[in-house]
Amino acid sequence: MSLKESSDAAASPETKPAPRKRKSRAKPAASLKSVAPAPEAAAPEPRPAKAETPAETPREFVMPDLGRLAINLLHAANLGQKAARLLMKNEDAASDMNHTLHDLQRVGKTLMDVAASYMRNPVKIVEAQAALFEGYLSLMTSMTRRFLGEDVPPVAAPSRSDKRFRDPDWQENLIFDLMKQSYLLTSKWMTDRVKLAEGVDPHTREKADFYVRQMANAMSPSNFLFTNPEILRTTLATNGENLVSGMEHLLEDIERGGGHIQIQQTDMSAFRLGENVATTPGKIVYQNDLMQLIQYEPTTEKVYKRPLVIFPPWINKYYILDLTPEKSLVKWCLDKGYTVFVASWVNPDARLALKSFEDYMTQGVYAALDAVEQATGEKEVNAVGYCIGGTLLACSLAHMAQRKDDRIKSATFLVTQVDFTEAGELKVFIDEEQIADIERQMHEKGGYLKGSTMATTFNMLRSNDLIWNYVVNNYLLGREPMPFDILFWNSDATRLPSAMHVFYLRECYLENKLAEGRMVLGGETLDLGKVKVPVYLQSSREDHISPYPSVYKATRLFGGPVRFICAGSGHIAGVINPPSSGKYNHWTNDDLPPTPDKWFDGATDNKGSWWPDWEEWLSAKSGPMVEARRPGGGKLKVLEDAPGSYVLVKSED
């Protein structure tokens, strides 16, 4: 999951930022309008808050001080050369170049497969050329009429979610509008050629569509100095100081990334774990090689008898569930009277390279169940799994069913896939060739996948919002990224052990063994149909990592009663949506027809968060009320305060 999404998550940070450490030579943003399009819900889900817009924001293209402009352009060029040298000098440069060339060969082969379908049918080539010519002719006609004073609708317009062309000059200035519409026409024509190609297998078409969109996004006129009106105005108004600041930011990002560009999406110095994020009081009551188990302090005098154990994804860190008191699912559950435990996964290094998916089950789920019983005296629990944590929970439930272990009495799955046949855009990266390449990379790096690699993968799924947005804001406009808690979490990447990761990719994404009853784990063949406990399936309508049609497939796989709901927004904001926010609807339907489309046809559109619906379902399965339990009050002693030491480990450490 990673979670690199959600411009719908929140409009502004709700935590009090600490003083910034990042330095900037110039601060052109003090006199210019702020941009930084937010990631789409990233999603992208997260959207950085807008900087304050000064009372007077220059919209005209002013004449600069040519002497100062020349000096600053020269300075920026020198800094850019220094950045290029740093990139070439890093110890991984040769290996990175080899992998890049291999990637380019794969891209080239994929696009040639699409091109070959047109070469086999010359009529299709003529039709494609005619379609492009017709689009350009319509645009020229429209621009001519507009030049003569007519009010004409655009031939090509960006989608409502496209933040790249928000500056008024993209509409009001004839030249910039022409560039914008030409680009939109061309990029649509390129993607249409992939969609209309004949005789191309589905996986090749998906890859080609992804690669073409990446190229189109990179070539957008919004990404370049002379074709983006806001960058051009800023450069003229500040005599090029924005470019100097931008190159300084680039150097800092390369130095922080150890010779790789690690784009800063938010002010990382504005947040500290345990101080203004991950602040819900709790204690570490158990730990092993793979996880620390947090038991949170109760906030009510009485609690439900059956504890609640949450297994977050280990692709990111657990505190997405406890960002701030206002956004914290953990605190909300505590306030409702639940005894809450959360697994905080280790950030693994080479020592844990051989840890397997089975190890995550035994040292994660099974170990947590044993620890909860020692801590509370309760053998029966309700469990929650988020994304890959939910996939692990499903595997564990099937394993437990084979062994007649009934300690988990209900299971909640948050944006979780167990059938991967419609697993969304991530499947672009999944085939035997690419998995083998990932395996080689992990071997070269010491037996684990670098956190930055997974982060880049998720960023590419929404490259306009999570890559090019920050290239423009940080490097061309020379502005600091705004502090935003979800993007801080998003940037706090984690490593992945090679054995576990390869198993997950092959067994789930590539071969879909769990859904088909062919996965073997811990000596047992897993059959989800033998999982008879009540299941709550939460999905998100705009989720591009775990698409709701993919999540819905689980309604046909579990053997017990299933409730399926769909929330608004995406992979993060659809889940982390407290009732107090008043955001995003959710859909409910007690029936489970064969397809998600039919489910939606009969669904009820409910205002606001899905959390109350889930809590009503969960409370009925949580037993009577008992005296609240405090960490350390049982057989397990307190090891340290939450958030614990495992979550503090950074991927670059």
Tokens 């990175």: give the residue: 96
Q: Is 479:34 a contact under the CB 8 Å cutoff?
A: yes
Query: From CA 96, how far away is CA 90, in angstroms rounded?
Result: 10
Tokens 């689980």: give the residue: 554
DSSP code at position 43: B
pLDDT of residue 93: 61
Q: Using only C-alpha atoms, what is the Rg of the chain? A: 26
Domain segments of the chain as ranges: 65-260, 282-450+495-627
Count of CB atoms situated within 10 Å of the CB of 188: 15
Q: Which residues are catalytic?
A: 387
Query: From CA 150, how far away is CA 131, in angstroms rounded?
Result: 25
SS3 per-residue string spanning 455-518: HHHHHHHCHHHHHHHHHHHHHHCCCCCCCCHHHHHHHCCCCEEHHHHHHHHHHHHHCCCCCCCC
34 pLDDT more than 50: no
Express each pLDDT in 551-595 by its tens digit: 999 999 999 999 999 999 999 999 999 999 989 999 999 999 999
For residue 15 the two structure tokens come to: 């935590």
Tokens 């999905």: give the residue: 539
Q: What is each CA distance from 334 to 303, 388, 426, 640, in whole angstroms?
A: 8, 24, 34, 20
Express each pLDDT in 429-441 by its tens digit: 888 888 988 888 8
CATH homologous superfamily of 282-450+495-627:
Alpha/Beta hydrolase fold, catalytic domain (3.40.50.1820)
Query: From CA 215, how far away is CA 187, in angstroms rounded?
Result: 9
pLDDT of residue 427: 86
Express each pLDDT in 81-118 by its tens digit: 999 988 888 766 666 667 777 788 889 999 999 999 99
pLDDT of residue 105: 87
Beta bridge partners of 385: 311, 413
Residue, of 339 and 88, whose pLDDT is higher: 339
Average pLDDT, the chain: 89
Beta bridge partners of 625: 304
Helix (H, G, I), strand (E, B) or coil at 611: helix
Express each pLDDT in 267-293 by its tens digit: 888 999 999 999 999 999 999 999 999
Of the CA atoms within 13 Å of residue 500, those in its CB half-sphere come to 28
Length of the chain in residues, anyone?
Answer: 653
Bond prior to 643 in cis (omega within 30° of 0): yes
Query: From CA 312, how far away is CA 616, in angstroms rounded?
Result: 22
Q: Is 410:533 a contact under the CB 8 Å cutoff?
A: yes
Express each pLDDT in 128-176 by its tens digit: 999 999 999 999 999 999 999 999 999 999 998 899 999 999 999 999 9
Using left for φ > 0, alpha for ψ between -120 and 50, and beta otherwise, residue 603 falls in beta
pLDDT of residue 92: 66
Name the pLDDT band for 15 (thresholds 50, 70, 90).
very low
Question: Measuring CA to CA, which residue among 418, 627, 642 is closest to residue 539?
Answer: 418
